[in-house]
Chains A and B, each alone.
Chain A
Amino acid sequence: SAVISQKPSRDICQRGTSLTIQCQVDSQVTMMFWYRQQPGQSLTLIATANQGSEATYESGFVIDKFPISRPNLTFSTLTVSNMSPEDSSIYLCSVGKDRGFTYGYTFGSGTRLTVV
C-alpha cells in the first residue's frame, strides 16, 4: 500500500492564525481526501482533492476556511485559516485508488491541532 507522510504531526496555534498541513505520498495517486476528526468523534470528510482541478468540498466546509492545493499526483496541502478553538481536531489525509492497493484506502497518521 501507499506510504503517507503527514506534517506536522501536531501543533499548538494561536487563534486567528493559519496552519498548513502537508501530505506526501510515495506513489502517484489519483484522489486525495482530507478528513477532520474532532475530539471523541468519528471522521468527517472535508474535501476531495484532484490534481489539476479545484477541490470538491463537503457540506459545511468552505474553501476560504480550508483552502487545499494539489500541485501534483504525490502531494497536497490543507490550510486551516483564521483558526478558533473549535478547529482543534485531528486532520488526516487519505489516498484513493493507487497501484498495488486498489481496494482499500490508506490514511496518514494525522495532524493533531490545538488552537489556544
Chain B
Amino acid sequence: DAKTTQPPSMDCAEGRAANLPCNHSTISGNEYVYWYRQIHSQGPQYIIHGLKNNETNEMASLIITEDRKSSTLILPHATLRDTAVYYCIVRGRFGNEKLTFGTGTRLTIIP
C-alpha cells in the first residue's frame, strides 16, 4: 500500500502558485519524498525530491515539515501545461528501489 495521502483533486488559477499537500506520517528516517506528475497520455515525469530540507529546482519547490510527516509541492506560477496528476511517493535513497504510486492529486489549472 502507498505510504502517502493526497487530496484527490485541486484547482488553481493560471499564474498563481499551486500548493499540493501530501501526508506521509509513517515515513522513516532514511526515506525520501519524491514528486512525479503525469500529464494526460504520457508517462510519469520526475519533478523533485527531498529528505528533510526544503528543495527548489527549475520546475518546483518542495517544503518538508520539520517532523517530516508532511510536505507541500509548490508550482510558483502555474500554467495550463501544469494540468496533470501529481504523485507524492516515499522511498529509500538508493536508485533501484521500486516506486509505489498512490492515487495522486489531479491538478487542474483554470484559465
Q: Do chains A and B interact in one complex?
A: yes
The binding surface of chain B is classed by DSSP as loop
A113 to chain B, nearest CB (A): 14
B41, B49, B95, B97, most chain A CB atoms within 10 A: B95
**Cβ of A48 < 8 Å from any Cβ of B?**
yes
Bound CA span A14–B46, Å: 35
Distance, CA A10 to CA B12, complexed state (A): 32
Which residues in B have their C-beta under 8 angstroms from that of A97? 94-96
Q: Flag A4-44 by CB within 8 Å of B: 1 or 0 each.
A: 10000000000000000000000000110101000000111
Q: Choose from A48, A103, A109 the contact partner of B95 (Cβ within 8 Å).
A: A103
B54 beta carbon closer than 8 Å to chain A: no
A2 CA / B101 CA spacing, docked (Å):
21
Q: In the bound complex, how far is the Cα of B95 from the Cα of A31, in angstroms?
A: 9
Contact B44 A43 (CB under 8 A): yes
B103 touches A103 (CB 8 A): no
A94, B29: Cα distance in complex, Å: 26
Closest to B45 in A: A107
Range for the number of chain A residues in contact with chain B: 20 to 34
Complex Cα gap A102–B95 (Å): 6
Query: Other CB < 8 Å A-B pairs besides A42-B103, A108-B43, 16 of them?
Result: A4-B43, A45-B99, A45-B100, A94-B99, A96-B95, A97-B94, A103-B95, A104-B34, A105-B46, A105-B99, A107-B44, A107-B45, A109-B41, A109-B42, A110-B42, A110-B43
- A-B residue pairs in contact (CB < 8 Å), sample of 28: A4-B43, A30-B96, A31-B95, A31-B96, A33-B98, A42-B87, A42-B101, A42-B103, A43-B44, A43-B101, A44-B101, A45-B100, A96-B95, A96-B96, A96-B97, A98-B95, A102-B95, A103-B46, A103-B49, A103-B95, A104-B36, A107-B43, A108-B43, A109-B42, A109-B43, A110-B41, A110-B42, A110-B43
- A residues with CB within 8 A of B: 1, 4, 30-31, 33, 35, 42-45, 48, 92, 94, 96-98, 102-110
